[in-house]
Each structure stands twice: as C-alpha cells, then as structure tokens.
A and B are shown apart, each in its own frame.
Chain A
Amino acid sequence: MANMAQAIRLALHYAEKNYQLKDVFGQDVGMPLGGVFTATQGLKTSWNSTLDERGIIGMAMGIAMTGDKCVAEIQFADYIFNTIDLLKIAGNTLWCTNGGFNLPMTVMTPVGAGIRGSVYHSHSFDAWASRLAGWKVVMPSTPLDAYGLLLSCINDPNPCLFLKPKALMRVRGEELIPGEPADEKELKAMIDAPIGDRTKWKAKWPDVQEYLIPFGQGKITRDGEQITVVSYGRHLLLCNEVADLLKSEGYSVEVIDLRSIYPYDWQMIKSSVEKTGRVLFVNEDTEVTNFGEHLAYRVTQELFYELLARPRVVAGKNVPGIGLHPNLEDASVPQKHDIEIAIREICAEVP
C-alpha cells in the first residue's frame, strides 16, 4: 500500500508515460534526492531547478505556453508567497487573452503544519489559493486521492495547484492504486531509491493504471444524520477520527472530504446540510478570510431556513506564524479536541 509520497511518484510516472508530461522540476526535485519528501524519485523527466521560486513558476508558464505539460514544485508553500503575482498572471492568462493562450501547468507544494516545521515549514495556502481565479485547486487526504487528483491536474488544460499535506506524505491509505502491488515492501523495493550511492539505481515501475478524480467532486467519508463536517487534507483525517470517537456516544456525524477546493462540490455540501441542518467547516489556514468562511457564508445565504444551528468554521488562529514549540503549534492550528468541542456545541444548539 503506497504512502502519499509514493502515490505522487506513481502518478508522475504514469503521466510521463501516458500524458506526455515533459518536465517535473523544482528545488532538489531531480536525482539524487528526488524531492525533500522523495515524491519525485526515479522519474525520467525530473530535474533540479535553481533555488528561485519565481524562476520556477516563470519557467513553468513558458513551458506551458508551448503546449508542453509540466509539473513544477515549490519546496514548501511557505516559499510560494513571492510568486503570488506570477500565480495571478498564470490564472489570468487565458482570460486576458480572451481564450488565446492556455497554460497546462501543475504546481505542487507541501502545505500545513503537523511536522513541527516552525514558522517557515508550516504555512497553509488553501485560503490564498482560493483567491487565484483561473486556477483549479485540489488537496488530497489519501494516497489514492493524491494519485487521482494529480492525474486530473496534469491532464487538465488549465493551471492546477496540487496542495500536498506534508504531514500525510508518509501516511498509507486503505485503498490500492490500480496496478499497485498489494505488498508495501514489494512496492518499496521497486520505487524507493536506496540509501547511499544512487547513480546506477533505476526505478522498476509497477504497471499502474489511469485513475482520475474529477475536479469539484467531494467524497462522503462518514455517513451521518446529525451534523455535516466539511474538510480536506490533513484535517479531514482528524475529522474522521472525531466522528468515530463521537459515534460511541451516539453522535451521527457526516464527514465530507471536499478534495477539490476550486471548483468545489456545492451539491454534496448542500444535500448533506439539507439533511443534517448543522455544519462545521474545518481547515488549518488562518481564520480571517478563510475559505471555510466562504462556504459558511454560502450555507447561510442559500440554506438559511434549513439550518438548526449557526454554521461554524474551525481554522488556524490569525497569528503571524506557527511557533516551533508544540504548545505554540497546537494552539495555532486546529486539534482534534477543537473539532470535537465545536461538533458538541453545534449539536447542542437549540434553534
């Protein structure tokens, strides 16, 4: 069973072979390292860029302008901020040219806290990304979804942003990627580079198959009747855990993995909230002008008379950074108990 880093690698390999993916690049993305999370090890088209985020995004835009597909990596989302105007231009190029130039490029970057990454290895980017009109934005919570969403990104003619929850890169899922060997040791022997000299090493790729998750298609990961909890990425797994925990007390929590931040699956949220009348949005980006606020606003506007309680958002505190000490990080980004308390409060609210 692949972990998320391996799933990303398998998707990139599949795209090299089947989608004419020509370039996978970024800082330390090529061999010998294959990315700081090893998500690009052993690929045919990977190469090391200069240590220059703007150079990486600018190059990606140029490559995409020729019609060639590329995947560019910003090593951590914390370092993507100096490219924000380039991301805006990439998102508006098709619109500004009235359909003349499309940019079939994917940018992937690790996001979020959870690895004690301190101030500059813990940033989230989903709220920022949701304001980049012209981009499709996804964030997986499982290796299989990472595989399916990344292939959809590479296959799409628009700029796509693939947000990798860095704390999940070594987490294995419960579902096999089509064509993946069931034995994780066998997979490791095939596609993980050995420690030490890697000059002669080549990956032996399993015959993985196409698996696409359409943009804007969420997934219900827990069925429930009492409250809807909408999340994505690392916090989706925390929401699942809390739903399971509260089930023993008789709570019936429906959890939606949004997977795709833009476009997003409004119909899934809508039908769930119409059923439960209560909703909580959970993510770890900072709380002021958070993407969850947009969803809560929309619920309030369109489903007001279906609601039994105020919609709530549990998000990161609006502080300048995530402090290194566990006390600081845990107080800055939502923890399981924060989600649990919010669910209990919302369910206890009487209209």
Chain B
Amino acid sequence: MAKAIKKKIVSKKSDSKLTVKSKDNFGGLDKNLLLTMHQHMVKTRVLEERLIKIYRAGESFFWIGGPGEEAWGVPVGMLVNKGRGPKFDYVHLHYRCSPTLVAMGVSMLDSIRLMMNRSTDTSTGGRNFSNHFSIPEWNVAPVTSPLEVQYPMACGTAHAQKRHHTKNYKNNPISVVTGGDAGTAEGDFASALILASRRGQELPVLLTVQNNKWGISTSYEGQHGENFIADRARAFNIKSQVINGNDPVETYLAVKENMDYIRLTGKPAFIEAMVSRLYGHSSASGANADPNELDPLKTFEARLLKAGLITEKDSEKIWAEFEAEGVRATEIARAEPQPTVDSIWNNTFVGSENADWRNF
C-alpha cells in the first residue's frame, strides 16, 4: 500500500495526470507568486547547469548540487522569514540547497565564486566545495560535508529561538532543516527527532527530508525497512506528512501550513518530500542528465503554459536572460583573485587572533 502511494507521488505518469487538468487552479496561489516561483526555478536550473559546465571546463575541482529539487527548494526559500539573529528563521541546509538560496536572493555570481574557489567567495573564501553556502546575514547555517550534523544544530537554534516566541505567533522564529534520505541512517537524524519532541520541551523546528531514493549509488529500497521516513517522526508524536516535492504548488502549501503550525504551537513538524535527482550525486558520478527522472521544472512550466499564465515566448526570454546572467557571472568570477597562501591561518580564531603555535 505504502509502496503504491510512493510510486504515485514520484512517477512520471501520475504527475502528468496532475498537469493535464483542464482547470488547474494551482491550489489557489496568486499568479504573481506562481510566476516568481517559476523564475526562481529556472534561475536555479540554469545556475546548476552552469556550475556543471564550469566543472567540465576544468575551472573547478568538484561539483555537487541539487538540480531536480527546484520544486521543493524554491518554495522553502520564499517562505523563510529572512534576517539575522534568533528573532528570524534559521535555515540549516545540505549541499542540494541552491533552489532555496536562489529564492532567498543569492546571486549567480556568489554561487559561481564559491564553485570557482575565488577569494571573493562570500561563503567560504575559496575554502569549500560548491553549494557549501554560509550566509550569516540571512541565518543560513554553514553547509557541511558530513551529512546530518545539521539536524541537531537546527534543534539548537530552535531552542534559542523559542526564547523569542510571543503570543503574536505570526512572527515567531523557527528553524528549518533539510537533508537527503540516505543520511537519515545517521544517528544525528534520530537525535534530532528526540531533541525536537521532548514532552513539554518541544522545539519550533521544521524537520525535512528530500527523498530522491538514492544515496550516491545505493538505492532507497535496499536501505530502509520503514515505509516512509516520515513514519519515524510520527513515532515521536511529531506532526508529519509525505508530499510530492516535485510539485511546487503542493510544496508551497504544505511548507506554509507546517511553518504556520510551528510558529503557533512552538512544536516541531516533519515533511518528507519525494523529489528527483536529475544529474546524479555529483561530478564524481559524471553529473550526466538522467532521462528516467521526472523534471519538476519542465512539468511546472507545462502547467503554466497550459493554464495560459505564461507564453512560450515569455519562457524562452526567462531562460535566455538567466543563461546570459550565468555567462556574465562566470566571466566576472574568472577574473577575480584567488585565495593567497598567507591566508591559511585567517579566521582560525575570531579576529584572526594568532592560532599558529610558531608564534606563541
């Protein structure tokens, strides 16, 4: 039964059924919001494909990202209450985070600087991989290569945020954490379920998993006994649901509803989003397009076209403009300086206080 539901959510066939409705009201969402969502999705896709091109051109050492997760990530980024400090939302992302960050306002240039390890890279200064963002001004916690460590950290930020909750619940800050399905095998995932749900000490955190049914080359089926990862959250009395993360409308509505619930109650919620993986895990596996995966962007665009919300011409223009922006950003980043050898000790301690024992 559960398998059948999952198949329905992720299969091309079932999704195409969704898109051929004659009167698609897009969940009642406003036209401008839908078009904004579409633009963010296109921008993200163009950006990720640009990053892959940069890797293939030998201008970067490694690519890892999340093409195929636009329908999930963009609504999340649009719904986050962006700002700095515990009175705003915290976002704990993993390396498939570009849709969320594009929707929050990250520029192509900053993403490409990170990809090309320039000293101008605002997230890491050329120290870390692509999509390992860190944006303190927007409470975007540093993306780490070790998987799942972000979940207990999200409980930590949520714990501090709860001190700022008031009766005016709409402004109550929350933490949002994302991760993949394979990583849920890590103990830190279980830690977070426990930390978030202690009776009387519940935390305002939206725990999410993007289930693309792969862990690099290891399939979901071979690694999980539970029907849904979301079932694990239910065992801790956490409000939990499975959604079609390939549908931005369903995602937007579900994420908003759960964020509102968390802001109101101060309690956690859990979303398992079924998503696609369009270019494999990373450049280590070739970063080649997978024709068997459903493309959520093309599907959404087809819906918009069919509903008359955009035209083919509009669409072509949007794609072309972002493509041009990506080319320009690459040229700018290419000309920017690299990190200097004498910078390795910088920011080991705050204020670059001496950390080199040779100088003690």
Q: Which residues of A contact B (CB under 8 A)?
A: 22-23, 50, 52, 54-55, 57-68, 85-86, 89, 93-102, 133-134, 136, 157-158, 216, 262-267, 294, 298
Please provide the chain B residues from 194 to 252 with a CB less than 8 Å away from any CB of chain A in the complex.
Answer: 194-195, 198
Residues in A whose Cβ lies below 8 Å from that of B81: none
CB distance from A323 to the nearest CB of B (A): 30
| Contacting residues, chain B, for A96 (C-beta < 8 A) | 124, 127-128, 132, 134, 142, 144
Q: How far is the CB of A8 from chain B (nearest CB, A)?
A: 23
Please tell me if the beta carbons of B350 and A66 are within 8 angstroms of each other in the complex.
Answer: no
In the complex, are the beta carbons of B141 and A65 less than 8 A apart?
yes
Given contacts A86-B149, A99-B350, could you give 8 more A-B pairs where the C-beta distance is less than 8 Å?
A: A59-B155, A66-B157, A85-B146, A94-B347, A99-B125, A134-B355, A263-B354, A263-B357
Closest to A93 in B: B142
- Which stretch (B27-35, B42-50, B102-110, B158-166) binds chain A? B158-166
What is the bound-complex CA distance between A99 and B339, given in angstroms?
Answer: 14
Which residues from chain A contact B347 at a C-beta distance below 8 Å?
A: 94-95, 97-99
Interchain nearest-CB distance for B71 vs A (Å): 28
Whether A63 lies near B160 (C-beta < 8 A) is yes
Contacts of B194 in A (CB 8 A): 50, 52, 55
Query: How many residues of chain B have a CB within 8 Å of chain A?
Result: 49
Q: Are A66 and B161 in contact (CB under 8 A)?
A: yes
Tell me which residues across on chain B come within 8 A of A262, comparing CB atoms.
357
Could you say which of A59, A64, A97, A133 contacts B136, with CB atoms under 8 Å apart? A97
- Give chain B residues whose Cβ lies under 8 Å from the Cβ of A67: 85-86
Decide if B144 touches A59 in the complex (CB within 8 Å): no
CB-nearest residue of chain B to A267: B360
Give every chain A residue within 8 A of B156 (Cβ-Cβ): 58-66
- Inside 8 A of B352's CB, which chain A residues have their CB? 99
Q: How far is the CA of A55 from the CA of B193 in the complex (A)?
A: 10
**Cβ-defined contact, B188 with A58, below 8 A:** yes
- Contact between A101 and B152 (Cβ–Cβ < 8 Å)? no
Complex CA distance for A177 and B303, rounded to whole angstroms: 72
**B149 and A85 contact, CB distance less than 8 A:** yes
Report chain A residues within 8 Å CB of B159.
23, 59, 62-63
Enumerate chain B residues within 8 angstroms of A101, measured Cβ to Cβ. Answer: 134, 136, 141-142
B120-143 near A? 1/0 per residue, CB < 8 Å = 011111011000101110000110
List 28 A-B residue pairs with CB atoms under 8 Å apart, sorted by A's residue number: A50-B194, A52-B194, A52-B195, A55-B152, A55-B192, A55-B194, A58-B153, A58-B188, A58-B191, A59-B159, A62-B152, A62-B153, A62-B160, A62-B175, A65-B153, A66-B161, A85-B149, A96-B128, A96-B132, A96-B142, A97-B123, A97-B134, A99-B352, A100-B123, A100-B135, A263-B355, A265-B360, A266-B357
Task: Provide the bound-state CA to CA distance between A157 and B159, in Å.
Answer: 20
For B355, the chain A residues whose CB sits under 8 A away are: 133-134, 263
B324 to chain A, nearest CB (A): 29
In the docked arrangement, what's the CA distance between A60 and B157, Å? 9
Residue among A100, A136, A158, A264 making CB contact with B360, cutoff 8 Å: A264
Residue in chain B with minimal CB distance to A97? B134
B195: which of A22, A59, A267 is its contact (CB, 8 Å)? A59
Cβ < 8 Å to A, chain B residues 320-353? 346-350, 352
The listed residue (B158, B163, B357) touching A264 by CB distance below 8 A is B357
Is the CB of B72 closer than 8 A to any CB of chain A?
A: no
Whether B149 lies near A89 (C-beta < 8 A) is yes
Question: In the complex, are the beta carbons of A62 and B157 less than 8 A apart?
Answer: yes
Within the complex, the shortest CB–CB distance from A19 to chain B, in Å, comes to 16
Q: Does B270 touch A at the CB level, under 8 Å?
A: no
Residue of A nearest to B186 (CB): A54
> Is B151 at the interface (CB under 8 A from chain A)?
yes
Is B58 among interface residues, defined by CB-CB distance under 8 A?
Answer: no
Instruction: Flag whether B63 is at the interface (Cβ < 8 A).
Output: no
Is residue B90 within 8 Å, beta carbon to beta carbon, of the partner chain?
A: yes
Minimum CB distance partner of A269 in chain B: B360
Complex Cα–Cα for A54 and B86 (A) = 22
Q: A23 to B160, alpha carbons, bound, how many Å?
A: 9
Taking the closest CB of chain B, its distance from the CB of A28, in whole angstroms, is 15
Decide if B187 is an interface residue (CB 8 Å cutoff): yes
Q: Is the CB of B348 within 8 A of A134?
A: yes
State A263–B353 Cα separation when bound (angstroms). Answer: 11
A62 touches B349 (CB 8 A): no
Nearest-neighbor residue (CB-CB) of B158 within chain A: A62
B287 within 8 A of A: no
Q: Assess whether A66 is in contact with B85, with CB atoms less than 8 Å apart.
A: yes
Tell me whether B101 is interfacial, beta carbon within 8 Å: no
In the assembled complex, the Cα of A136 lies from the Cα of B355 at a distance in Å of 9
Of the listed residues B127, B156, B348, B349, the one surrounded by the most CB atoms of chain A closer than 10 A to its CB is B156
Nearest 6 interchain pairs by C-beta:
A62-B156, A58-B152, A98-B125, A66-B160, A62-B153, A55-B191
Q: Are A157 and B350 in contact (CB under 8 A)?
A: yes
Closest-by-CB residue of A relative to B345 is A95
- Residues of the B chain whose Cβ atoms lie less than 8 Å from the Cβ of A133: 348, 355
